[in-house]
Amino acid sequence: MSELSVQQATERWIKEVVVGLNLCPFAAPVVNANRILYHVSEEMEIEAIYRDLLSALDQLQRSDEQELATGFLVLGKGLADFNEYLAFLETVDDMLPEAGLDGVIQVAGFHPDYCFADSDEADPANYTNRSPYPMFHLIREDDLEAAVASHPDPAGIPARNIQLLRDMGLEEMRQRLRRCFTAN
C-alpha cells in the first residue's frame, strides 16, 4: 500500500469520515460539487503558518462563492502538539475581528489528537474533530447560516454524532482515521 499525500489523506477523511458518517450534514453537497479550497502548508514555524493562514483566507475571500464554498488550511508538519495547536487556534479567533472577518469567516479546528475539554482522551466522541493532520476549516458564515436554517434539527447534530461515534467504538474510529493515510 502506498501513502497518500497530505491533501489526499485530508480529502479521504472528509469523504469517508465527515460525509460518510454524516458528521456534518452540510458537507456532502460542497464535497460532491468539488467546491473546497485545500491549502497545504509544510511550514513548522508559527509565523510562517500564520502567513499561510492569511494566504488561504485571502484566496477564499477572493474566490467566487459558487466555485469555492469553504476551505481548509492543512498542516503537513506544523502544530503537531495539540496544546500548541489550541494556542494558535485562539490567536486565529482573536485575529478574525482585527482582519474585518468577524461575521464573515468562522474557523473550526481539527487535529489528530483533538480532545474536548473535560473529555477522556479515549472517548470516541473526540473523533468528531480528529483529523489526519492539524487543520483549520475556513467557513463562510453566510453559507453556514443558510445551511443551518435549512436543517430540521441543527442543535441535535452534536448529540447525534457523539452517540454514533460512541456506538461505533474507539477502535473502529482509530481504524477509520488510519485508513485515510493509505491508498486501497
Query: Of the candidates 101, 46, 97, 95, which has an alpha carbon nearest to the alpha carbon of residue 75?
Result: 46
When pLDDT is averaged across residues 104-127 and rounded to a whole number, the result is 96
Q: What is the pLDDT of residues 122-179, one digit of tens each?
A: 999 999 999 999 999 999 999 888 888 989 999 999 999 999 999 999 999 999 999 9
pLDDT (0 to 100) of residue 127: 98
pLDDT (0 to 100) of residue 1: 58
pLDDT (0 to 100) of residue 148: 86
Question: Alpha-carbon distance 39 to 84, whole Å?
Answer: 20
Q: Given a cut of 90, is residue 13 above it in pLDDT?
A: yes
C-alpha cell at 170: 474507539
Domain boundaries, the chain: 6-122+131-147
Q: Given a cut of 80, is residue 2 above it in pLDDT?
A: no
pTM listed for this prediction: 0.94
Q: What is the pLDDT of residues 48-105, one digit of tens each?
A: 999 999 999 999 999 998 899 999 999 999 999 999 999 999 999 999 999 899 999 9
Q: How confident is the model at residue 46 (pLDDT cuts 50, 70, 90)?
A: very high
By CB atoms closer than 10 A (0-12, 13-18, 19+), residue 56 is buried
Q: Given a cut of 80, is residue 184 above it in pLDDT?
A: no
pLDDT (0 to 100) of residue 3: 85
Kind of pairing between the strands at 135-140 and 70-75: antiparallel
pLDDT (0 to 100) of residue 143: 87
